[in-house]
Chains A and B, each alone.
Chain A
Amino acid sequence: SQKIEQNSEALNIQEGKTATLTCNYTNYSPAYLQWYRQDPGRGPVFLLLIRENEKEKRKERLKVTFDTTLKQSLFHITASQPADSATYLCALDFYNQGGKLIFGQGTELSVKP
């Protein structure tokens, strides 16, 4: 079955630095990969979507890369701010899963002032 792995340990960085979060998957490549932000006790909020034929996507301070050879996506937040502190989830849509979205466990990011 498909496995998705995100950094299990929390990521602590200093304000102004770039945060880099990792999402690795096994077996089949997904058709699409999405990143979500989740604050404690709240529902995930969509951030970015990248397709399998795209290498990189940007939105303001956010950048997502997708390497189907490495079976990995990287999520970058540049010039990080304390308000960026949250849990970030990657979600993959695999062709062989009937279009079902499968979520990683998430990585908790803490940005210190």
Chain B
Amino acid sequence: EAQVTQNPRYLITVTGKKLTVTCSQNMNHEYMSWYRQDPGLGLRQIYYSMNVEVTDKGDVPEGYKVSRKEKRNFPLILESPSPNQTSLYFCASSFGQGAHEQYFGPGTRLTVT
């Protein structure tokens, strides 16, 4: 089954404790991205990757890191989480940019206390 998986689905952590949210897709997609969704602000792109070893900042990259060592995986790293990073996070993938539908993962609800 074609899908995007994220882990963990729920995470409660404390300020400053490094964490990684994994994202994996099995559709051989080149383009992957991370979004955060907050009430009243909608979906905002954090980082995106057009292919292996190619990443770029989205609209809200501060406090996040990503890597794309393999085509299927695109982990999101929070080196020192803060409470303002409490949010619902989505990973997405597509064949490319532009005229391609994005496939979204099920989401990771992160709470930083």
Alpha-carbon separation in the docked complex, A46 to B8 (Å): 23
A51 interface residue per 8 A CB criterion = yes
Check A100/B107 contact, CB under 8 A, given A46-B101, A105-B40: no
Q: Which residues of A contact B (CB under 8 A)?
A: 31-32, 34, 36, 41-46, 49, 51, 89, 91, 93, 98-106
Alpha-carbon separation in the docked complex, A81 to B47 (Å): 36
Q: Are A43 and B97 in touch, CB under 8 angstroms?
A: no
Alpha-carbon separation in the docked complex, A99 to B50 (Å): 10
| Number of A-B contacts defined by CB within 8 Å | 60
Q: Which residues of chain A have C-beta atoms less than 8 A from B34's C-beta?
A: none
Q: Which residues of B contact A (CB under 8 A)?
A: 4, 33, 35, 40-45, 48, 56, 58-59, 88, 90, 92, 97-99, 101-107, 109
Q: Which residues of chain B have C-beta atoms less than 8 A from A98's C-beta?
A: 56, 97
Q: Which residues of chain B have C-beta atoms less than 8 A from A89's C-beta?
A: 42-43
User: Which secondary structure dominates chain B's binding surface?
Assistant: strand
Q: How far is the CB of A107 from chain B (nearest CB, A)?
A: 11
Q: How far is the CB of A46 from chain B (nearest CB, A)?
A: 4
Q: Are A93 and B107 in touch, CB under 8 angstroms?
A: no
Residue from B44, B45, B109 with most neighbouring chain A CB atoms (10 Å): B45
Check A100/B90 contact, CB under 8 A, given A89-B42, A89-B43: no
Task: Give 16 new A-B contacts, CB below 8 A, not counting A44-B102, A103-B35.
Answer: A34-B101, A34-B102, A41-B88, A43-B104, A43-B105, A44-B104, A46-B101, A98-B56, A100-B45, A100-B48, A100-B58, A100-B97, A102-B59, A103-B43, A105-B41, A106-B42
